[in-house]
Amino acid sequence: MSRNQHLLRWLPWAILSCVGWGIYGFLAKVGSAGVNATDMQILFTIGTFPLIAFFLFRRSGLGSDNKGRIIGTLIGVLAGLGGIAFFAAMERGKASLVGPTTSLFPLITVILARFALRERLNRVQMIGILLALVSAGLLAM
């Protein structure tokens, strides 16, 4: 598979995710004026029900094994707790600061992938991590 074909497999989905999460962050700030963080997370979760129903009915059930179900459930718990913290931060801070700061979450993924999965980082990727940290610091000024 060529490099371009490989990029086309995941890049459109990553861009769609970025756009969706960007709008999500904006709406989280707009909504935080009238809803506390816990209620916002509850409403967020309720908003996912139509997607859950659509995919469950389309596929007739879950196709994962027990390990996948446990990890998927743990991801949901962590995302829920992270969501509450995100909404609390949006309620208390500026979206222009909270959004970029919380968007550094991939650094945790990179660190875990590096040490737990033994994935290697090249020099350009290391510079990218450094620039992400610097940009978060600059935005916070």
Q: What is the DSSP string of the chain?
A: --HHHHHHHHHHHHHHHHHHHHHHHHHHHHHTTTS-HHHHHHHHHHHHHHHHHHHHHHHTS----HHHHHHHHHHHHHHHHHHHHHHHHHHHS-HHHHHHHHTTTHHHHHHHHHHHS-----HHHHHHHHHHHHHHHHHH-
Q: Per-residue pLDDT averaged across 32-50, rounded?
A: 92
pLDDT grade, residue 100 (50/70/90)?
Answer: confident
What does pTM read for this prediction? 0.77
pLDDT at residue 1 in the model: 76
Q: Per-residue pLDDT averaged across 39-51, rounded?
A: 93
